[in-house]
């Protein structure tokens, strides 16, 4: 491969999961030129401090992304923009004058991604979000994701997406996230993909199908197509659609289906545990805490009352009192390690305990003690926000493969012009 590097802007960087995954894929190819991490309303910037400690090169930005100038992004000349951004309300409206185009709801960070893309025109964009993005808001199912797709269409990009459960592909956590890959229309990869039909791209030949293979038939024949309305304001006001777990959008034409992963044997909780002799006593449950978790994880029916006086029954099914060590972990949340129903509780040698922060790092595929400079509470919080590094490593290898295709295609074009 040629010596050219892929300049990367990392947005909403957290403790650097995207960067770590890309560098594990190929540190000589991916050059993170600018990484931004800023936690609003917090004096301590733990995630940013961790990022600075772990990564030496590139510009480290600890500022409100909305305050960063367009010129800053232009000067960086990125080929790839990555980021895990919040799931928010992506509705749009015409500006008051009607002459200045569209305005998104204030504070919505996707519009900052749009601004970066507008100013830099990268070849590739790779984003991550919670899988409910495909269905939000509940009052207008699929609208938010449709707004995003239409935005990419209007910026002259083609998009693939896939909901990936990390455990389905051999990792230690049942963490479902939607990954979105957009590429600039007209680049060599786009020309190469144009040879295939929509279903060939999603099931076999596309960006996600290579590193995360699926069966060649959809789940329960769930395949749907739709054309996005040209006017994004009309789309925001009226459009509703059921997006499936995988799909492809080109020039506003959407193809979506529910794919069945070709599962790989996952890593189990047992495999990521540290030796019990290394577990601090503070991580073991007291008798009182154990009883509290028995209640939280048990079935329950509770009478509740709304603000207007309406009485209703809140019910919750039971779950196992402890997590199965022979299965991968459940989705880790930012509340991990607290007295919360979603917290992992394991039993080893007859004693119940929390996962340690180091074990939570392993659940996400980070190096041991990646966040050791923080308090335990912040270590849990940051891992609950993080992504599974190994997924990004695979996607980075896929981008490297695409770059090789680009180089070969460019050589072929030059030879054709010379003949």
- Provide the pLDDT for residue 100: 44
Residue 361 has pLDDT above 80, yes or no: yes
CATH assignment at residue 371? 3.90.120.10
Q: Which residues are catalytic?
A: 87
How much of the chain exceeds pLDDT 90, in percent? 84
- Provide the pLDDT for residue 405: 77
Nearest to 266 by CA among 339, 349, 330: 330
Q: Let me know whether 299 and 218 are in one domain.
A: no
Q: Let me know whether 144 and 213 are in one domain.
A: yes
Weakest-pLDDT range from 96-100, 161-165, 244-248, 257-261: 96-100
How much of the chain exceeds pLDDT 70, in percent? 93
DSSP 307-325: TTS-EEEEEE----SS--T
Residue 406 has pLDDT above 80, yes or no: no
Q: Let me know whether 76 and 147 are in one domain.
A: yes
Residue 106 has pLDDT above 80, yes or no: no
Mean of pLDDT values over 141-147 = 95
Q: Let me know whether 276 and 376 are in one domain.
A: yes
Phi–psi pair at 348, nearest 5 degrees: -130, 130
End position of a domain, from candidates 241, 264, 287: 264
Phi–psi pair at 242, nearest 5 degrees: -95, 95
Q: Let me know whether 198 and 319 are in one domain.
A: no
- Provide the pLDDT for residue 404: 86
End position of a domain, from candidates 264, 283, 299: 264
In the structure encoding, which two tokens stand for residue 323, read together? 């997590």
Per the structure, the count of domains in the chain is 2
Task: Spell out where 131-258 has E strands.
Answer: 157-165, 176-184, 223-227, 246-250, 253-257
- Provide the pLDDT for residue 412: 59
Give dist(CA 118, CA 139) in Å, integer. 30
Chain-wide mean pLDDT for the chain? Answer: 92
Q: Let me know whether 25 and 158 are in one domain.
A: yes
Q: 392 in a domain, yes or no?
A: no
Q: Let me know whether 329 and 244 are in one domain.
A: no
Residue 283 has pLDDT above 80, yes or no: yes
- Provide the pLDDT for residue 1: 40
Q: 93 in a domain, yes or no?
A: yes
Banded model confidence at residue 409, pLDDT cuts 50, 70, 90: low
Q: 20 in a domain, yes or no?
A: yes
Q: 403 in a domain, yes or no?
A: no
Phi–psi pair at 44, nearest 5 degrees: -80, 130
Weakest-pLDDT range from 239-248, 294-303, 338-347, 351-360: 294-303
Residue 97 has pLDDT above 80, yes or no: no
Mean of pLDDT values over 104-130 = 91
Q: Let me know whether 222 and 81 are in one domain.
A: yes
Q: Let me know whether 230 and 297 are in one domain.
A: no
Domain of residue 22 covers: 6-264
Q: How confident is the model over 204-233, as pLDDT tens digits?
A: 999 999 999 999 999 999 999 999 999 999
Banded model confidence at residue 2, pLDDT cuts 50, 70, 90: very low
Mean of pLDDT values over 93-98 = 59
Sign of the torsion formed by the C-alpha atoms of 272, 377, 366 and 18:
positive
Q: Let me know whether 162 and 305 are in one domain.
A: no
- Provide the pLDDT for residue 45: 95
Q: Let me know whether 204 and 317 are in one domain.
A: no
End position of a domain, from candidates 264, 288, 314: 264
Residue 419 has pLDDT above 80, yes or no: no
Q: How far is CA 207 from the centre of its chain?
A: 15
Q: How confident is the model over 348-357, as pLDDT tens digits?
A: 999 999 999 9
Give dist(CA 88, CA 129) in Å, integer. 10
Weakest-pLDDT range from 83-97, 259-273, 278-292, 297-311: 83-97
CATH assignment at residue 84? 3.40.50.150
Q: How confident is the model over 15-49, as pLDDT tens digits?
A: 999 999 999 999 999 999 999 999 987 889 999 99
Banded model confidence at residue 411, pLDDT cuts 50, 70, 90: low
- Provide the pLDDT for residue 174: 98
Give dist(CA 183, CA 34) in Å, integer. 20
Q: Let me know whether 289 and 220 are in one domain.
A: no
């Amino acid at each position: 491969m040629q010596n050219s590097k892929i300049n990367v802007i990392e947005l909403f960087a957290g403790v650097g999961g995207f960067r770590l995954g890309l560098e594990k894929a190929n540190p000589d190819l991916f050059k993170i030129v600018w990484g931004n991490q800023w936690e609003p309303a917090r004096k301590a910037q733990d995630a940013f401090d961790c990022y600075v400690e772990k990564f030496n090169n590139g510009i480290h930005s600890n500022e409100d992304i909305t305050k960063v100038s367009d010129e800053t992004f232009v000067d960086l000349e990125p080929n790839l923009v990555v980021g895990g951004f919040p799931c928010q309300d992506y509705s749009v409206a015409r500006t008051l004058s009607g002459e200045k185009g569209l305005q998104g709801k204030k504070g919505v960070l996707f519009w900052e991604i749009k601004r970066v893309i507008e100013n830099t025109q990268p070849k590739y964009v790779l984003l991550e979000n919670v899988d409910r993005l495909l269905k939000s808001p509940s009052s207008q199912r699929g609208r938010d994701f449709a707004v995003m797709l239409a935005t990419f269409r209007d910026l002259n990009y083609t998009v693939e997406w896939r909901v990936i459960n990390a455990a389905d592909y051999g990792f230690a956590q049942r963490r479902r996230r939607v990954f979105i890959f957009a590429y600039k229309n007209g680049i060599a990869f786009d020309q190469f993909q144009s040879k295939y039909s929509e279903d060939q791209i999603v099931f076999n030949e596309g960006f996600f199908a290579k590193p995360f293979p699926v069966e060649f038939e959809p789940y329960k024949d769930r395949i749907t197509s739709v054309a996005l309305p040209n006017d994004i304001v009309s789309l925001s006001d009226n459009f509703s659609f059921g997006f499936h777990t995988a799909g492809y959008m080109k020039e506003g034409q959407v193809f979506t289906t529910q794919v069945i992963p070709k599962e790989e044997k996952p890593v189990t909780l047992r495999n990521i545990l540290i030796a019990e002799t290394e577990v601090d006593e503070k991580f073991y449950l007291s008798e009182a805490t154990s009883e509290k978790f028995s209640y939280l994880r048990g079935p329950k029916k509770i009478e509740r009352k709304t603000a207007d006086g309406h009485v209703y029954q809140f019910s919750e099914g039971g779950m196992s009192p402890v997590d199965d060590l022979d299965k991968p972990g459940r989705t880790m949340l930012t509340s991990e390690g607290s007295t919360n129903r979603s917290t992992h509780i394991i039993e080893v040698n007859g004693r119940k305990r929390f996962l340690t922060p180091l074990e939570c790092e392993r659940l996400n595929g980070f190096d041991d003690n990646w966040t050791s400079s923080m308090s335990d509470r912040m270590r849990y919080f940051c891992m609950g926000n993080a992504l599974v590094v190994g997924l990004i490593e695979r996607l980075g290898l896929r981008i490297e493969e695409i770059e090789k295709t680009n180089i070969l295609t460019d050589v072929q074009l030059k030879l054709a012009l010379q003949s």
